Every structure is written in C-alpha cells, then in structure tokens.
C-alpha cells in the first residue's frame, strides 16, 4: 500500500479534550441530580453531542422532549467552550508536532476527521490551522461515525483514494468508520478498546514516520 495521506481524529488523538467534555457533562448531570463518573464518560468518546446527551439522560433515567434536549445540549456546549477557549498549544499531545513535521517533509498529506463542531475553535487555540491540508468536522457531515462519511470526505478533499489513507483514531466508533471507508486504521489508546484497528499505539511519543512506512 502506498501511503499518500494521514487523517487524524482530533479529540483524544491530537489533544485530550475528554477531560473538558467530562467536566461539562458532570455539571449538567449534577444539576439534574445524578452522578456522572469518568467511567461513564468513556462511553461518550467519539460519540456526537446529541447522542452523548441521550446516553447521559439514559444514565440518569430521565426522558425529555427534543426542545428540552436541545436546550441542555446548548448549555453543556457553552460550558465546554468556556474550557476549550482557555486551551493553548502546550496541550497538544506529546510527539504530535514532530510526527506532523515528518509527514510534511515526506510529502504526505494530512487532514482532520472529527465529529466535533468545535474543531475550528480547538485548532485555533492550538495554533494548528495551517498544519492540515483539509479539515472535515461535525459541521460538514450528516452521518456520525461509524459511518465513513467524515473520512471519505477528507480523502476526497485531499484528492487521495481512500485505500491510500491511514486514519488515527482513539474511539471504537472511529475505528469502525475508518474500516468502513476502506482505510488503514491505527488506534491510539489501548488495544482492548479499539477492536479491528490494524495496529494500536499508545500515542505519538514513540511513533515515527519509519513506523508508519513499516506497517
Ligand atoms: C468527538 C468527541 O470528537 O466530538 C465526543 O470524542 C464529542 O466526545 C463529539 O461528543 C462532538 O463534539 P462537540 O464539540 O461538537 O460537542
Ligand atoms: Mg476521538
């Protein structure tokens, strides 16, 4: 396989935003009178905002109509945004900048493929906007992962066949989406959480271009 492009999930791959999502969901759960734990939070990784809210309400045994749900989602997002607004490039995960630099030097294209509608703000805060040739996020797709839409759109914008793309993902639904797109997928995290990934790495600290080429 000739690797022509790497497509990166954002949350959990480039930056650890899960802690901010957790704080915001926890506050919301607290207001509704139930406890939301970090273990619960694991279930929300890679899941869209509204689907995350549905899981949260299910955990609390609460049922609401669409209007009430939309208000809650907005409240959670306002809180989340108040956290991510304060982020800085120091929060980019170890090894990421070096790996992106190696890809650029090798002429391999890069894209973001994220479910988050806050992607533009996060990339701005991390000063990463100019590092990606394409950014496909929750504002540009209709179908959530495991649907392959986000990654297929990324490949299309990069003008690279899906079969020549490698996806980096930290969530099971994202790994599935990459496989559904016909791409190679490298899981970032623990192998037991990322079934189907062609390879799983702990992060980019010890992952170099040569490791990608030896896949
Ligand atoms: C994903 C996160 O990247 O984006 C999920 O892993 C999050 O936890 C989803 O729910 C949607 O994010 P946002 O920023 O649009 O609420
Ligand atoms: Mg993720």
**Complete domains list, the chain, with CATH:** 5-16+89-213 (3.40.50.1000), 18-84 (1.10.150.240)
For the chain, how big is the Rg over CA atoms in Å?
17
Ligand positioned closest to the Cα atom of 169 = 2
Q: Is 52 in the pocket of ligand 1 (CB under 6 A)?
A: yes
Q: Is 117 in the pocket of ligand 1 (CB under 6 A)?
A: yes
Asked if 170 and 12 touch (Cβ cutoff 8 Å), the reply is yes
Q: Is 150 in the pocket of ligand 1 (CB under 6 A)?
A: no
Which residues surround the ion ligand 2 when the cut-off is CB under 5 Å? 9, 11-12, 46, 170-171
pLDDT tops 90 at residue 1: no
- Name the strands in the sheet holding 165-169, side by side, starting at the edge strand that comes first in the sequence: 134-136, 109-113, 5-8, 165-169, 184-188, 199-201
For residue 70, the CA-to-ligand 1 centroid distance in Å is: 15
For residue 138, the CA-to-ligand 1 centroid distance in Å is: 8
Q: At 215, is the pLDDT very low, low, confident or very high (cuts 50, 70, 90)?
A: confident
Q: Is 116 in the pocket of ligand 1 (CB under 6 A)?
A: yes
Q: At 15, is the pLDDT very low, low, confident or very high (cuts 50, 70, 90)?
A: very high
Q: What is the pLDDT of residue 109?
A: 98
Q: What is the pLDDT of residue 43?
A: 87
For residue 214, the CA-to-ligand 1 centroid distance in Å is: 32
Tens-digit pLDDT profile for residues 69-117? 999 999 999 999 999 999 999 999 999 999 999 999 999 999 999 999 9
Residue 32's closest CA among 66, 65, 56, 67? 56
Ligand 1 atom, smallest distance to 77 CA: 16
pLDDT tops 90 at residue 58: yes
Q: Which of 36-50, 95-109, 115-129, 185-199 has the lowest mean pLDDT?
A: 36-50
For residue 168, the CA-to-ligand 2 centroid distance in Å is: 9
Q: At what angle do helices 66-84 and 49-60 cross, to 10 degrees?
A: 110
**Cα separations (Å) of 79 from 26, 76, 147, 182?**
11, 5, 28, 36
């Amino acid at each position: 396989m000739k690797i022509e492009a790497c497509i990166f999930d954002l949350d959990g791959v480039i930056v650890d935003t899960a802690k901010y999502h957790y704080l915001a969901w926890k506050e919301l759960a607290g207001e509704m009178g139930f406890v939301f734990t970090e273990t619960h939070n694991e279930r929300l990784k890679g899941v869209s905002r509204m689907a995350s809210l549905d899981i949260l309400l299910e955990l609390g045994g609460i049922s609401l109509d669409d209007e009430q749900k939309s208000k809650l989602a907005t409240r959670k997002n306002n809180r989340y945004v108040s956290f991510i607004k304060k982020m800085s490039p120091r929060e980019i995960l170890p090894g990421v900048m070096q790996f992106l630099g190696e890809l650029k030097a090798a002429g391999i294209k890069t894209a973001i493929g994220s479910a988050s509608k806050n992607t533009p703000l996060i990339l701005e805060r991390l000063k990463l906007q100019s590092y990606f040739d394409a950014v496909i996020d929750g504002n540009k797709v209709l179908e959530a992962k495991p649907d392959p839409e986000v990654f297929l759109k990324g490949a299309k914008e990069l003008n690279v066949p899906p079969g020549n793309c490698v996806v980096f993902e930290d969530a099971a639904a994202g790994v599935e989406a990459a496989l559904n797109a016909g791409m190679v997928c490298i899981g970032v995290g623990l192998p037991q959480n990322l079934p189907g990934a062609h390879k799983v790495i702990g992060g980019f600290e010890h992952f170099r271009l040569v490791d990608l080429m030896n896949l």
